[in-house]
Amino acid sequence: MTNQHWLLCRAMNFAAAQEQALGFFTRSLLIHYDRLVVAEEKALTATHPRFWPQLEEGVAANRRLLDGLIAELKAEGCQDFTDLIALGQGYQSKLLHLAAHLLDGFIGIDTVFYNLREDSHWLSDQVRAEVQAAPGDHWLLLVEAGFVSPERVALVHRLSKTD
């Protein structure tokens, strides 16, 4: 099982950006991969023409994930905040939990883009302006992360409804 995450870093060079990305995963309490690869040839500085389209696609993918979680929560009967009080523990509460993680800035295995500058799945106007002002100091790194052992893979399940 391999996951890919695009991480936004502020660093003077690739090595420093890579150190930030790998350090982030090493310190993470939520996600523990057996293998992490950050390939320099896939790294993009904000001066690269693919930087902004890749970043925007990552944010859009996170938004689609959040929209899907909310749609599924609605399909499960949660139409507004007052319905949360009766939310069933299990699948429904897991949907809410995952949506809260996306909104609150906690990385998960389904995260496509993650902004290390702000610990966020999004990009604020302020950081966007900072990236535009110093494009050579901002990196978008593709982190390919995975599990080597079948036992670890078996422990990681993507969200699925069980009947």
What pLDDT is attached to residue 151? 55
pLDDT tens, per residue, the chain with 163 residues: 789 999 999 999 999 999 999 999 999 888 888 899 999 999 999 999 999 999 999 999 999 999 999 999 999 888 888 888 888 788 888 999 999 999 999 999 899 999 999 999 999 999 999 999 999 999 999 999 988 765 554 444 444 454 4
Torsion from C-alpha of 128, 129, 133, 138, nearest 10 degrees:
-20
What pLDDT is attached to residue 159? 46
Q: What are phi and psi of 159, to 5 degrees?
A: -55, 125
pTM of the full structure: 0.86
Listed residue (98, 118, 97, 109) closest to 55, CA to CA? 118
- CA separation for the pair 158, 123 (Å, rounded): 25
- Please report the beta strands in the chain, taking only residues with DSSP state E, as ranges in sequence order: 2-10, 35-38, 44-45, 113-115, 138-146
What pLDDT is attached to residue 126? 98
